[in-house]
Amino acid sequence: MAEGPVLDVMGAMLYKGFLPPSAQRALLDDIRAVERAAPLFDPVTRSGRKMSVRITSAGALGWVSDRRGYRYEPRHPSGVPWPPIPQSLLGIWKELLPDAPPPDSCLINYYGEGARMGLHQDRDEADLTWPILSVSLGDDALFRIGGAARGGRTQSVVLSSGDVLVMQGPARLAWHGIDRIRPGTSRLLKNGGRLNITLRVAGPAGEGAQ
C-alpha cells in the first residue's frame, strides 16, 4: 500500500488515496465477511430515536447504542461474539501507528443515501489518549471537524474511497461528523453508499486486543 498525500485537517492527518482500488476491493471482501458473522443492525439513541447509519463491529469490543446509552460490549446484540478484526485493517494500523497498542475494536458504519452523523466526540474509550483511525470505502462523504470545544470553528473536507484519517494528539477529542454523502461517486459498493471503518483502542491498552 503506497502512502498517499497527507493533509493536516484541524490537526487530524488525512491520507488521501492511501488504499488503491485493488486494496479497497480486498478490504471490502473482509468487511463483508465480518457482516456475515455479525450482521449490520439499526442503533437507536437513549431516547429511542433511530440513527440514520447501520452498524456492526469486529474485535474484542463492539460499539452499541440503545436505550441504555452509548457503550462498548463484547457481543453483538444477537448474542454472538464479534468476529476478529481483519488482518488487512490491522496492517494499516501498524503501518501508520507503529507506536500505538493494537486496536481491540473496529466499528463499521454504513451510510446509505440521506444518512449523516452529527458532530460528536469519541469519548467512550477507556483511555482517550490513544489514536483513532478511520478508513473510507464507497461514495464520497463531506466530513466536518472542529476543535476540542463545541461550537468553535470547523473545517470541511471530502473523504473518498480509499482515504484514511488518523485522529490523535490534539485532534483525538475533536468534534467531528458527516454532513452528507454523495451518492453515485463510487462503484465499489454494489448497492451504493459508504462504509466508514474505524479502529480504536476501546478497553485498557493491551487487554482483549485481537
Q: Could you read off the pLDDT of 111-131 as tens digits, one per residue?
A: 999 999 999 999 999 999 999
Does some domain include residue 135?
A: yes
Does some domain include residue 206?
A: no
Which residue matches cell numbers 485537517? 9
The dihedral sign for the CA sequence 106, 161, 17, 148 = negative
Does some domain include residue 105?
A: yes
Please calculate the CA angle 50-51-53 and round it to the nearest 5 degrees.
135
Sheet strands (E) in the chain: 6-9, 12-15, 54-59, 62-66, 69-73, 105-111, 117-120, 132-138, 140-145, 155-159, 164-167, 176-182, 194-200
Question: What domain range includes position 13?
Answer: 6-200
Does some domain include residue 208?
A: no
CATH assignment at residue 119: 2.60.120.590
Does some domain include residue 210?
A: no
pLDDT for the residue numbered 1: 52
Does some domain include residue 1?
A: no
Taking residues 2-15, report their average pLDDT. Answer: 87
pLDDT for the residue numbered 73: 97
Q: Report pTM.
A: 0.94
Does some domain include residue 205?
A: no
* Dist. CA 163–CA 161, nearest whole Å: 6
**What are residue 164's DSSP bridge partners?**
15, 135
Does some domain include residue 87?
A: yes
Counting every residue, how long is the chain? 210
pLDDT for the residue numbered 5: 83
Domain count, the chain: 1
pLDDT for the residue numbered 38: 98
Greatest CA span in the chain, whole angstroms? Answer: 44
